[in-house]
Amino acid sequence: MPNIFDFKLVFTQIPKLLSYLPVTLEITVLSMFFGLLLGLILAIVKIKRLPFFTQVVSIFVSFTRGTPILVQLYLTYYGIPIFLRYYNYYNETNYNLNSIPSLFFVLVTFSLNEAAYNSESIRAAIQSIEKGQIEAAHSLGMTFFQVLRRIIIPEAFVVALPTLGNALISLLKGTSLAFVCSVVEITAQGKILAGANYRYFEVYVSLAIIYWVMTIIIEQFIKFVEKKVIIPD
Amino acid sequence: MIEINGLSKKFKKNVVLDNIDLKIEKGDVVAIIGPSGAGKSTFLRCINLLEEADTGTIKIDDLQVDVNKKTKKDLINLRQSTAMVFQQFNLFRRKTALENVMEGLVVVKNIPKNKAEEIALVQLQKVGLAERVHYYPKQLSGGQQQRVAIARALAMSPKILLFDEPTSALDPELVGEVLDTIKATALEGNTMIIVSHEMNFVKKVANRVLFLYNGKIIEDGTPQEVFGNPKNERTKEFISKLAYSIAPEYQI
């Protein structure tokens, strides 16, 4: 039988790919973290209808949702150095453009992208909370931040959990685009491996397996958390 | 002592509260009655600044707050001096009965957790829920939820308790247990304002009844005076319409 599809290779090269899994996970976890944090802030700006900031947030969210993540990656990758060169020129500073690690561009892009999407999920979750609880908290004498931390976030988290879980899964797979900023994560490593042995199909099958397994783990984790936070009748 | 002066509020062009003055002595149980839309709830909500009045001052003991010139500190202080029991209970859904009562003590009053728990347990026992302290609101009946809310308010040891139609959202058979709890609270000497439609209850528990109509207090006196011998025409009409609902005596 001709060796058109190297079945064994699909599995034997998985360890080589997995050695770059930490990079994939690092991008996913950090971007999700900053995306949640910034998303919460954006959501609050929108809910409180802060003048000026609300408009800025709206434009930001609209732009981020309206452009492909690939384009956004290129924009930060080329945009930040250009911005820095102008900054150096006008302020006579001497920031070294090459000292910025590639990973930085990827983290900035994914964090901002996540923030834009999450801000909408978080806003909807917060607005779904029964207003009475918030009034009760205020009537006890709690400040806005105490109410936010003690009442609003725990309650909104439960509502937003399924959507945020979705976002996390998309993000995990989205990190496969990080190679355009010359960050090597599992997909980039796969391309490198295939470049050497021309077994492209095999490597993509391996990658598919890895992403799928990772996603199943995330799904199970979300299910577990959902079960934890539910209050029985 | 609570003193409210010149409290006014408009919703757009609609005058809800019209220059209300009110003085309440310590230990008074004041009931506010009146037709729907008279501004009863709004008045209550303006006292603890959940609703912003347009003008007026609110004085609770030494703390005087002008609603137009209030600082964040005034707001927090005033709310700490008052406690509110809502029509819809408004318990924190993700917290147990015990945690609901502890919340204000720990977060607002900075009382250590174990001490707060002691206070909360005492209060929950008082409202007859010692067996239910670890239940979540949705695992409790409406009457039980409202009693937790009363315990939550009492635990803060406020200078004045505000009840905003505390039994209106309850099944008829659960009203009694909540009214009993409120009565017990009144007998302990707490100063309170109750907005209620339970006229028999008001008659028995309050020592002063206000009739609010179109944003004004048009009748003010003991329950005997207001129910037995109302001076104002509008009050007379209101009381006469109640006649049949007063007839069957409430068992407390």
In a domain, A2, yes or no: no
Asked whether residue A212 is assigned to any structural domain, the reply reads no
- For the four alpha carbons of B168, B169, B172 and B176, in that order, the dihedral sign comes to negative
- The average pLDDT across B158-177 equals 92
Which residue in B75, B73, B72 sits closest to B47, CA to CA? B75
Residue B209 has a pLDDT of: 94
Beta carbon pairs, A and B, within 8 Å: 68
Spatial separation of the C-alpha atoms in residues B20 and B40, rounded to whole Å: 11
Nearest to B86 among A132, A143, A151 (CB): A132
DSSP string, chain B: -EEEEEEEEEETTEEEEEEEEEEE-TT-EEEEE--TTSSHHHHHHHHTTSS--SEEEEEETTEEEETTS--HHHHHHHHHHEEEE-TT----TTS-HHHHHHHIIIIIS---HHHHHHHHHHHHHHTT-GGGTT--GGGS-HHHHHHHHHHHHHHT--SEEEEESTTTTS-HHHHHHHHHHHHHHHHTT--EEEE-S-HHHHHHH-SEEEEEETTEEEEEE-HIIIIIS--SHHHHHHHHHHHHHHSSPPP-
Contacts of A47 (CB under 8 A, 6+ apart): A123, A126, A127
**A16 within a domain of the structure (yes/no):** no
CB contact under 8 A, B50 and A143: no
Q: Which residues of A touch B108 (CB under 8 A)?
A: 140-142, 146
Q: Is the pLDDT of residue A70 over 90?
A: yes
Q: Does the pLDDT of residue A187 top 90, yes or no?
A: yes
- Could you tell me which of B42, B148, B164 has the C-alpha nearest to residue B99? B148
* Band (B243; pLDDT cuts 50, 70, 90): low
Q: Which residue has the higher pLDDT, B12 or B96?
A: B96
Per-residue pLDDT tens digits for B44-87: 999 999 999 999 999 999 899 999 888 999 999 999 999 999 99
- Write out residues 38-57 of B within 8 Å (CB-CB) of A: 48, 50
- pLDDT > 90? residue B204: no
Contact A139 B84 (CB under 8 A): yes
Could you report the per-residue pLDDT of A203-218, keeping only the tens digit for each?
999 999 999 999 999 9
Q: Let me know if residue A230 belongs to a domain.
A: no
Return the closest-CA partner of residue B148 out of B181, B110, B106, B173: B181
C-beta atoms of A132 and B88 within 8 A: yes
User: Do residues A24 and A172 lie in contact, with contact meaning Cβ atoms separated by under 8 Å?
Assistant: yes
Whether A5 is covered by a domain: the verdict is no
Query: Tens of pLDDT along A76-124?
Result: 999 999 999 999 999 888 888 888 899 999 999 999 999 999 999 999 9
Q: Which residues, at least 6 apart from B249, have a Cβ–Cβ distance to it below 8 Å?
A: B200
A131: nearest CA in chain B? B90
Residues of B in contact with A141 (CB under 8 A): 76-77, 79-80, 104, 108, 156
Nearest residue to B195 via CA among B177, B184, B209, B181: B209
Average pLDDT, chain B: 91
Q: How confident is the model at residue B251 (pLDDT cuts 50, 70, 90)?
A: low
The residue whose two tokens read 């009931």 is: B31
Scanning A93-152, the segments in alpha helix (DSSP H) are: 102-128, 131-139, 144-147
Distance CA A186, CA A191 (A): 9
Domains of chain B and CATH, by start:
2-246 (3.40.50.300)
Domain that holds residue A133: 21-183
Looking at residue A163, its pLDDT comes to 95
The predicted structure's pLDDT at residue A95: 83
Exposed, middle or buried, A65 (CB in 10 Å: 0-12/13-18/19+)? exposed
Asked if residue B212 lies in contact with residue B40, where contact means CB atoms within 8 angstroms, the answer is: yes
pLDDT at residue number B133: 95
Query: Tokens 């899994």 — which residue?
Result: A21
Asked if B48's CB is within 8 angstroms of A139's CB, the reply is yes
- Asked whether B182 and B103 are in contact (CB, 8 A), the reply is no
**Domain CATH number, residue A44:** 1.10.3720.10
pLDDT for the residue A96: 83
Percent of chain A with pLDDT over 90: 88
Question: Do the Cβ atoms of B72 and A150 come within 8 Å?
Answer: no
Q: Is residue B242 over pLDDT 80?
A: no
- At B245 the pLDDT is 56
Report whether pLDDT(B161) > 60.
yes
pLDDT tens per residue, range B110-151: 999 999 999 999 999 999 999 999 999 999 999 999 999 999
Distance between CA B111 and CA B117 in Å, rounded?
9
Is A1 among the domain residues?
no
pLDDT at A4 over 80: yes
Integer angstrom CA distances of residue B16 from A107, B45, B214: 54, 12, 7
Taking any CB pair shorter than 8 Å as contact, residues of chain A touching chain B are: 130, 132-133, 135-143, 146, 150-151, 154-155, 158, 231-233
d(CA A11, CA A8): 6
Residue A36 lies in a domain: yes
Mean pLDDT of the region A205-233: 95
Percent of chain B clearing pLDDT 70 (strictly above): 96
Of A140, A150, A233, the CB nearest to B156: A140
What ipTM was reported for this prediction? 0.91
Mean pLDDT of B145-173: 94
Number of domains in chain A: 1
Asked whether the predicted pLDDT for residue A16 surpasses 60, the reply is: yes
The dihedral formed by the CA atoms of B198, B200, B206 and B210, expressed in degrees to the nearest 10: 60
A232 chain-B contacts, CB cut-off 8 A: 139
Does the pLDDT value for residue B250 go beyond 60? no
Residue A224 lies in a domain: no
Here the tokens at position B49 are 């600044």
Q: A140 and B152 in contact by Cβ < 8 A?
A: yes
Cβ contacts of A143 on chain B, cutoff 8 Å: 72, 76
Q: Please answer yes or no on whether B108 and A141 come within 8 Å at the CB atom.
A: yes
